[in-house]
Structures are given as C-alpha cells and as structure tokens.
Structure 1
Amino acid sequence: MVRKKLKLLTALLCLTASGAFAQLGSSYDVKDSSLISKKNLPQHNEFLNNAYPYPAKPRNQWEVGVKGGWSAVAGDVRYQGLTGGAGISVRKALGYVFSLRAEYDWMRSKGLNFSPSVPPDVANSAWSAYAPGQVVFYNYRTTIQELSLQGVVTLNNIRFHKAKTGFNLYAFGGIAGMIYDTKVDALDGNGNPYTNLFTTVNNNYSGQFTYENRKDIRKALKDGMDKSYETHAETDVAQPKLFGQSFKPAAVVGMGVQFKLSKKLNLQFEDKYTIVKSDLIDGQQWQAAAVAGAPGTRPQGIMTRDFDSYNFLSVGLNFNLGGKSVEPLWWLNPLDYAYNEINAPRHMKLPKPVLDDADGDGVTDQFDLEPNTPAGAPVDSHGVSKDTDGDGVPDYKDKELITPTQCQPVDADGVGKCPEPPCCQDIRNNMMTKPAGCGIGDLPSVSFGAKSVSLSKDAKAVLAGVAQKMKDNANCKVAVVGYGESSKSAQQLSWDRVNAVINYLVEKEGINADRLIFKYGEGGGDANTVDLRDGSGEEGPNTVPAPHPNLRKK
C-alpha cells in the first residue's frame, strides 16, 4: 500500500514538472519606492541618485500554507501503512536564498507486528494482563503534535540563463518540540486480553512469520481485534509532560518542491523527517531475550539501542499575503535586475564615448579611409578629402573647384584645358595638313572585358601589329582614345584602359612615349573599346594623372 501511494505521488510530481504549471515568476521595478520599507529608504535614495550601486531589498509577502498527507513511525513495531496528518505553516524570506518557517503538524500513525513477541519481565502496564510466557502481537496507535522552527534554503532561484522559473526546489532543517500519546489495543471490548486470538494466529503461522504471508497474518489479527486502542502504552516516567502527554525536543530535516499556480498561490509537495531521542513513540522499547527464564516466568528483556523517528509526506497549498510587496523572494531571480540593466540600461550612468580622430576631420579613426587629411580640408563620410569635380585634385588644393569634364585632365593645381569648339576645330583641321611621309592608315581597336583593365592575348597581338606600323612610319603619332564620360567610375576605368595600352606599347614594344597621345573619358564610343588612330595632326600629352585615384582598378 505504501509503495502504491509513493508511486502515485511520484507520477503526480513528474506530470507537474513536465509543464502542467506555467512559469509565472516575475520581477519588479527596482525604482518603485512604494515597495521599499522605511528602514531601507536611505539605501534606496542613494541608489536612485547613483551614489550606491545596489538596490534596496523590497518588501516581500508572507507565505501561509496548509497541507495534508501521510505519516509513519520507524520504530520497534512495524508501521501499519501510511496514516493521516495535517499541518499549517507561516514562512518569511530573510533573503533570496534563506527563509524561516514556523510549522505546526498533527499526525497519527499506527503499527502492528506480523511476528509474535513475549512481553519481558520489565514493568509494562500495557501488556500486564497477559500470563507469563503468553505470546502477543505488538501494536500501537500514536498521535503526534509537533511545533517546529525551520531554516529553508532555496536551491534553484538563482538562474544564469533564464529570468523566471515556475517551480521552487528547497531543503530545510530545524528544531522542534513534540508531544505524543501512544496507546495499544491489548484488550477486547469486554476488557479481556486477546489470548485465544494471539495463540491461534501463532499456532497457524508458527515458523512462517515471513514477508510473504504478512498480509494474511495482519488480516487475521485485524479481523479479531476491535481496534479500540484502550490501553496507554509504556512511557518514560522521567520524561517531562505537556498537556498530559510525553514531551520531547526533536530535529527536523526535509526537502520539497513548489509549483506556481499564480502570483498568490502555489502547490507544494514535501517530505519531512523528524529525529527524536525517544524509543517509546511506538510504545515499545523492550525485546525478549533469546532464552526464556524459569517456567512460569516472563523471559528477561533487553532494551533496544535505537530511537524512534517518524516521517510526514504531504501535499499542500500555499498563499502569499501582503500589500505593496513583491512575491516572496525565493520566487525572484536576484540576477534579473543586473541582466536587464546590462541589456537595456534604465538607471546606470553611461560615460560619453570618446573615439580617436587623429586628423580631426570629424570621422573616427576606425572608419577613416584617409587618416592623415590636412587640417581644415573638407571630407566625405569616409574621411576622404572631397573632390567636387572629380578631376583628381582634392578641393583643398583645387584652384578651379569645378572643372568641366571636357576640360580634363587638369594640371597639379586642378586647372583644366578646355578644347576648342567643334566649329574652330573643323576650320583648323581644313587648314592643316598631315606631315609629309605619314602613311600609317587605319589602325585597329583594342577590346576589354567588362570592368577589366587587363590586356588579353588577342589585344597584345593587335598592339604588336600597331607597333610595327609605327616603326615603319616614324613621322606618325598615334592617339589612344578611351570612352566613358557618364560617371567618375567610368572615367577612371577609361583612363586605366588607355594607360594599359600606352604602357604596353612603350614598355613591351619599345615605342617612344612622345609619339602617343593620351585621350580618355570621351563620349560617342564603346566604353569597353580603346581606339587607336593617326594622331599626327593632334596635340596632347602622352600621360596624364589618374582622374579618380581612389576608384582606380589594380
């Protein structure tokens, strides 16, 4: 029967822990002064003024509980299954981990041996009605009242990876005072001993008093006894009395778990074990010697060396009481405030961030792509000197802040040279003649892949042919023309490709750089093509600076 009840309680605990009750724990606003007691207000005010780093402890509610369950005595007489008990308690937190609980419990326990005994020759009024040598089956019913003060330690409310928990695991220990009243069922309803019943049961099961048939033995005894428990059990005459009952100090230990149903209510499962320096809770402290005395006398008895103890397994409901208070502190995680403040500061004083800016251009060094910009030079959001017209000369050095694209490239001061209007070019071209002896004719174009500035094998072969023509026509110049005027990146890409063609002709084919004219960023052509044409009648440099070096392709 005991095992079945324990299995049922274990199954209920597992069901509860698996999610039958939601995690309803919550925190509180540490800045709420209404939750702080008068004696803690000075600390609270210092905390609000950032003069003290720790928030004051809030007022927290009392817990009042009621419970009921099963009790059993561990003594010389085997307990007769779990019997009833009830209790009330009051608990108050002293901190997030430790709390005090005062508890009163009323318990009743019964016992019945399934093996016979012979009362010894010591004074035991409970069994004095039986003749010397008569076997008896020890039994008892005891009523225990216990008042205890316990220290309770919470085991799981300090959590590092979760703010709340829906259950509370705790252990406790403390001191108690207990009184007990133990009686035995030694006589039937007529006041006569159970001599015939005990003798019959003893004869029927002689030599068979084992665990296998204990149920049958106990059933036979229960059927024959009236269960009146009319006789007071043996007591220690030197033991103090309280309310006419035996009094003993005791120690209590135990563990329990609470499951939160709401902020005001929780369900509790608990097991409490009481240790008492008494061997008479079950009414029996003597056992018969192995060898009986002379005929007609009781066998000599010896006192057992162990003390009795008892257990109280209970289920209870606890209620939180108190206004302008937070929940009992064992339901709160003391790390909750610190973690929330780190994640989203509401109270802490944050220092103003100071980030290095070596060149003082307003862009911090970690984001500055040009960390050595001269003082006073305007920069963009990346800390790079502004170049409004994109001519490759930064604004702080540019003497011509806005140079039209057609007037670029520019000189070192950012000043460009604008071309003649088309009408003037036509007149000049008609008036000029090509130098005598230039018969280079039409020249091929060089193609590039998208966004590429590298010369392919086919392009190098084309340039080798151009170089040979130039060597054969020493009086001729060649204009190298790139296209792409739509944007800064297109202009720079055009420059890179023209530069690649000229460098190849000079460095690989041995053409004099003075015979080449550098033209880039022009309109009207294919942006992925560099044209080569007879430039003998044209003027222009053989090299120009990159218009937008920050966008240059490597």
Structure 2
Amino acid sequence: MASKKFKLLLGMTCLMSLTAFSQVGVRSYEDSSVIPSKRLPQHTEFLNGTYNYPAKPRNQWEVGIKAGKFTVMGDVPSLFLTPGFGVHVRKALGYMFSLRAEYMYGIGKGMHYAPGTGYAGKQGNPWNDLGYGTANGPNNVYYNYKTVTQDLSLQGVITLNNIRFHKAKTGFVFYGFGGIGATIYETKINALNDAGRPYFEFDQIAAANPAVYKDRKDIRKALKDAMDNSYETKAENHGDYRAKLFGQTVRPSATVGAGVAFKLGPRFNLALEDRHTFIKDDLLDGQRWQETGSLTGDFDSYNFASLGLNYNIGAKAVEPLYWLNPLDYAYQEIRNPKLMKIPDPVLPDADGDGVTDQFDQEQTPAGCPVDSHGVSLDTDGDGVPDCKDKELITPTYCQPVDADGVGKCPVPCPDPATCPGLFVKTNECADKLGLLPSISFKANSNTLSADAEAVLATVAGKLRNAPECKVVVVGYCSSSKKEQQLSWDHVNKVITYLVEKQGISEDRFIFNYGQEGGDCNTVDLRAATGDESGPARVEPPHPNLRKK
C-alpha cells in the first residue's frame, strides 16, 4: 500500500516538472483577462475612475507534496527515524487568508526501554492474551508499537508577512494554520518471534545479567538485536467502542502548525513546516497505562515536521494572493498615476495678454504689452499706453499730452520779457541734449526696470556728446514724510546709476526732489540753463524711511 502512494507522489512530481516553465500571467490592474466575469462590473467602474478599488484578480491554485519525520506523542517513547508523507491543495481567498485541504500518511514506531506490567490481568490486552506475565510466559513486557496513521483535514492558513511597506515583494512568507479533520490509524505490536512464540530469551538474559542491561541505550540495542521487525499482533484498539473504517479506528482530529515558504520562481516554492495533530484517543501507540480499563485518560497526539515542494497551477491567473503585496497598486498610483483622474488646469485669459484672469487687473486691448499684473505699459507715465503712444517718451514738462501721447513742449524764446506763459529763454544745452526722457518707477518701488536702464543709457550717450552741459534730475511729491523720502530715493537712484554704471561725472547733475506738479513715481530729466546751479548730492530727509 505504501509503495503505491510513493508512486503516486512521484507521478505528481513529474507532472509538475513538465509544466514548470509554462508562462505565468503578469499582474496588471488593467488586465481584464485575469478578472472573473462576476467582478468585471467593478473592474470597469475602477478603470473609469468611478470606483476606488480594483477588482480582485483570479489567482492560481497551489498543489504540494511533502515528506519528513512523523512522530507519535504517547506513553511509549518514539523511535527517531519514522517517516511521514503528505499532499495538499491550497486556494487563496484573500491576500492573508487561504484554505488548504491536506492528506497525510505517517508511519510511527516506538519502544520502551523499561519493562512494564500494566497489561497483567487486563481483558483484551494482547500482551496478556499472548501469555506474558503467566506462569509459562515472560515476566516483563517491553512495550513497542508500529502505527500507520492517515488523516484528511481542512485548514485555514494565515500569511503573516506579504503585506510590506518598504519592499514590493518578498522572497519568503511565514504562515500559521489550523484546522479540523479525521484520522484513521492501525497499531500493531511486536510480541512474537519468527516462530510465533513470546520473547522469552531477552527477558531471561536481562534478568540474569542486571549489571549489563542497566543503561537504556544498551537495553534498546539488545531489544533490537533480539526481536524481529514483524509487528504481527494488533494492539489494543477499543474493540467496538470506536468507529471503524476498513477495520481501522477513526477519530476526529484538530491540527495546528506553522511554516515558512521560500520562492524559487513564479510557480515553485519550497516550504518548511511543522504541524501537530490532536486526537481524543489514548491508543495511538497501542498502550494505555490505566489499570481500570477506563477509556478516559491522557490522550495521544502526533507531529509531522516536513519539507515540501509546492507548485502553482492555473491559466490566465495571477500568482496566489499570499505571494503578492496588496499595497503595490496604491504605491504605483502615488508614484506614477495611471487611472487617477487629474482635471485639466483652468487658466482663462480673456484678453490674451498672457496674464490669467485671476491675476489680471486690466482688460488690455489686443497687442498691448503689459506688466506682470496685466496692466498696459506706459513708459513715460503720460496716461497713454505704449501700444497707442506715438511719442513713447514725453518729458513731464511737455505734458499733458493729446490722445496720441504727443506732448506740447515750451518754445525757445530769445527774450523772456517778450514771451509770456510757456515760453522760456533759449538754452544752448537744451538744444544740444534735446528733449530728455522721464523715468518711471513702480508704485512704492525704488528699482529701475530694464526699460528704464536702457533709456538712461541713451541719456548718458547724449551727456558724453555735450560735456559742458549739466542735467537737472527732478523728483515729485512732498505732502508726507514717506513721499519726500521716496522722491529723494528716485532722484538718487537715477543719478547713482548714471554715475556708477554709465561713468558720468557726478558734478554734472543737479539734485532736485520733492517738487510739486508731477507724478510721484516719475523722475524728469532736463538740461540745466546756463545760470542754473545746485548740489549733486543731498542728504536724505528721512533716512529711516529710505528704500534699500
């Protein structure tokens, strides 16, 4: 019977080897082929972004074989080399929980080094029935047994470490399991020699040489030498008190255990596990120590420590879920969103000036250059935007201007006594330098723009061509300390730039700030008259309010 089972296990191994290298479906949350039909609606909603959770994919079954050490925990000490074999089928119901159906076949053996007498006079005990302890039989019994045990169980398996926060997958998993099932067993004892007689010889030799057989190792060796390996006699088995299947005792059983599996590839893994099975029976080892004949007492159990090879089967399915990390999807979406709906940014720009409406302070005519706030540029501050200004730089003293941004400047006059109103005396430097531009600053700012610096570079060129001429730098507004200081800052900024950046001598400028009649954010430049003088530097009126 055992040889048939070995052949069956070998055949299953060969079958798995032939299909070992078949391709396994690669996991993808967008792959509908691995989604069962009943979960396709959820999958569709997930792909459309109307449901947050992907559908659980179809996952493979696991089949496995194992072999190891089978040990009976009973009243008679077990021998070490006792084999066990098993096969199982496992299916994951989730990422942590799976169900496993397992069949186990074990051969347990045991032998006691100490003689016993508990069999004496007990009805139904085979030792007593064979003549041990009688006048014509051996005085002592050295209890021994061989039990063939089989069980079939359904187990729940919990995977402990496949959910990982700092690594995509693991090469090994720890798991624990427990379940219920049924155990059948048949136990026999080695009570007769090859002639069918009780073992008188060893009992007589041991009694005659107590000094030689005082050590348990010596006793066990002597027992093995004296006895054959027939196990010809059925051990006590409760008779009709226990249910039988094919003549063997049947008992319900409960199993617990733990293991670790090491991944060898997409389909194979190697498992090392230990399971312990409890049955409500004290005759698994063929011996109970109660003298009363009661069926209660200390129950036997058995242990199966094994090394197994497992294989995943199934087409159009992902690996068993207990090998996958369910956090993969969440981390993939965080790092590289594929299904996440990200709305397009809404940045309207009604006037098309390049500044979005939420920041635009003016609806600008098409083609007009604007500043960062969407306001039309007005370099000379005359109220006409640059895109409509036919005179881009109009000095303040030539303002106000007409609708085209052209100012009306004073006309030179040879005799001031005859020139009323706007007319002034002829100024040679004014003729040489021409109309000088105004410099505009942003409100409450003391920073020269790139355009202003370009204008001042033009002014510096004119000054180099007329080295005998001076320029009056005029700033406006003085109604408050803040305005006075800001006017000084503007004038000082213009003179400093022309001196330090353009190399014009400082004594060619007349510092004039805090004047009335002009824009607070504008500085005017004009040629000085022949008799006009003034300092090139003035101390700031309110240094604590000075702009940096």
322, 326, 331: which one aligns with 1:339: 331
Give the CA deviation at 1:94: 2.1
1:164 alignment partner in structure 2: 169
Give the CA deviation at 1:342: 3.2
Match of 2:161, SS state, is coil
Q: Deviations for 1:42-100, whole angstroms, at most 9, x for unmatched residues?
A: 33333334444332222211111111111101001111114111111111122222222
Give the CA deviation at 1:155: 1.9
Give the CA deviation at 1:523: 9.3
1:147 alignment partner in structure 2: 152
Q: Does 1:57 align with 2:65?
A: no
Give the CA deviation at 1:309: 0.5
TM-score by length of 1: 0.65
Determine the C-alpha separation between the residues in 2 that align with 1:500 and 1:114: 122
The answer to whether the 8 A contact 2:132-2:139 is kept is yes
TM-score by length of 2: 0.66
226, 239, 242: which one aligns with 2:242: 239
Q: Deviations for 1:116-136, whole angstroms, at most 9, x for unmatched residues?
A: 211332121145331248222
2:194 alignment partner in structure 1: 189
Determine the C-alpha separation between the residues in 2 that align with 1:207 and 1:394: 127
Compared CA separation, residues 264 and 411, structure 1 to 2 (3 A)? farther
Q: Deviations for 1:349-373, whole angstroms, at most 9, x for unmatched residues?
A: 333445799x9986579xx9xx573
Give the CA deviation at 1:153: 1.9
Compared CA separation, residues 361 and 201, structure 1 to 2 (3 A)? farther
1:224 alignment partner in structure 2: 226
Match of 2:259, SS state, is strand
Give the CA deviation at 1:202: 6.2
Q: Deviations for 1:401-438, whole angstroms, at most 9, x for unmatched residues?
A: 7746x979997988799999xxxxxx955999xxxxxx
Unpaired runs of 5+ residues, structure 1, are 1-24, 289-299, 421-426, 433-453, 455-483, 508-512
Q: Aligned runs of 1:395-544 on 2, under 5 Å?
A: 396=385, 400=389, 403=392, 429=428, 488=452, 520=494, 526-527=500-501, 531-533=505-507
Q: Aligned runs of 1:319-330 on 2, under 5 Å?
A: 319-330=311-322
Give the CA deviation at 1:176: 1.3
| Bigger mean CA deviation after superposition, 337-346 or 248-257 | 337-346
Match of 1:533, SS state, is helix
Give the CA deviation at 1:331: 1.5
Compared CA separation, residues 32 and 487, structure 1 to 2 (3 A)? same
Determine the C-alpha separation between the residues in 1 that align with 2:495 and 2:341: 57
The answer to whether the 8 A contact 2:202-2:226 is kept is yes
2:417 alignment partner in structure 1: none
The answer to whether the 8 A contact 2:275-2:305 is kept is yes
Determine the C-alpha separation between the residues in 2 that align with 1:253 and 1:347: 43
1:282 alignment partner in structure 2: 285
Compared CA separation, residues 547 and 144, structure 1 to 2 (3 A)? farther
The answer to whether the 8 A contact 1:254-1:271 is kept is yes
Give the CA deviation at 1:195: 3.0
The answer to whether the 8 A contact 1:116-1:202 is kept is no
Determine the C-alpha separation between the residues in 2 that align with 1:225 and 1:500: 129
Determine the C-alpha separation between the residues in 2 that align with 1:431 and 1:149: 109
Match of 1:286, SS state, is coil
2:100 alignment partner in structure 1: 101
The CA RMSD measured in Å over matched residues stands at 4.9
Determine the C-alpha separation between the residues in 2 that align with 1:431 and 1:412: 20
Determine the C-alpha separation between the residues in 2 that align with 1:410 and 1:163: 76
Q: Aligned runs of 1:206-221 on 2, under 5 Å?
A: 213-221=215-223
Compared CA separation, residues 361 and 214, structure 1 to 2 (3 A)? farther
Q: Aligned runs of 1:108-123 on 2, under 5 Å?
A: 108-118=107-117, 119-123=119-123
1:72 alignment partner in structure 2: 71
Q: Aligned runs of 1:254-269 on 2, under 5 Å?
A: 254-269=257-272
What is the one-letter code of the residue matched to 1:147? L
Give the CA deviation at 1:114: 2.2
Determine the C-alpha separation between the residues in 1 that align with 2:219 and 2:300: 24
The answer to whether the 8 A contact 1:248-1:276 is kept is yes
Identical-residue share of aligned pairs (%): 46
1:35 alignment partner in structure 2: 34
Match of 1:262, SS state, is coil
Give the CA deviation at 1:278: 0.7
Q: Aligned runs of 1:3-14 on 2, under 5 Å?
A: none
Determine the C-alpha separation between the residues in 1 that align with 2:52 and 2:89: 33
Match of 2:298, SS state, is coil
What is the one-letter code of the residue matched to 1:38? S
Determine the C-alpha separation between the residues in 1 that align with 2:407 and 2:498: 21
The answer to whether the 8 A contact 1:37-1:59 is kept is yes
Determine the C-alpha separation between the residues in 1 that align with 2:378 and 2:392: 9
What is the one-letter code of the residue matched to 1:125? P
Compared CA separation, residues 361 and 220, structure 1 to 2 (3 A)? farther
Determine the C-alpha separation between the residues in 2 that align with 1:541 and 1:501: 6
247, 251, 259: which one aligns with 1:248: 251
Q: Deviations for 1:252-285, whole angstroms, at most 9, x for unmatched residues?
A: 1111221111111111111111111111110001
Determine the C-alpha separation between the residues in 1 that align with 2:256 and 2:427: 115
1:130 alignment partner in structure 2: 132
Match of 2:507, SS state, is strand
What is the one-letter code of the residue matched to 1:122? K
Match of 2:107, SS state, is strand
Give the CA deviation at 1:521: 6.4
The answer to whether the 8 A contact 2:400-2:407 is kept is no
Unpaired runs of 5+ residues, structure 2, are 1-23, 412-425, 432-445, 460-471, 482-486, 524-545
| Bigger mean CA deviation after superposition, 317-326 or 395-404 | 395-404
What is the one-letter code of the residue matched to 1:374? E
The answer to whether the 8 A contact 1:93-1:100 is kept is yes
| Bigger mean CA deviation after superposition, 265-274 or 181-190 | 181-190
Compared CA separation, residues 130 and 411, structure 1 to 2 (3 A)? farther
Give the CA deviation at 1:375: 3.8
Determine the C-alpha separation between the residues in 2 that align with 1:176 and 1:63: 20
Determine the C-alpha separation between the residues in 1 that align with 2:173 and 2:209: 53
1:47 alignment partner in structure 2: 46
Compared CA separation, residues 354 and 372, structure 1 to 2 (3 A)? closer
The answer to whether the 8 A contact 1:388-1:401 is kept is no
Compared CA separation, residues 489 and 307, structure 1 to 2 (3 A)? farther
Determine the C-alpha separation between the residues in 2 that align with 1:500 and 1:222: 124
Q: Deviations for 1:438-466, whole angstroms, at most 9, x for unmatched residues?
A: xxxxxxxxxxxxxxxx9xxxxxxxxxxxx
Compared CA separation, residues 431 and 245, structure 1 to 2 (3 A)? closer
2:275 alignment partner in structure 1: 272
Compared CA separation, residues 122 and 380, structure 1 to 2 (3 A)? farther
Determine the C-alpha separation between the residues in 2 that align with 1:175 and 1:230: 32
Determine the C-alpha separation between the residues in 2 that align with 1:385 and 1:431: 34
2:414 alignment partner in structure 1: none
The answer to whether the 8 A contact 1:286-1:302 is kept is no
The answer to whether the 8 A contact 2:381-2:522 is kept is yes
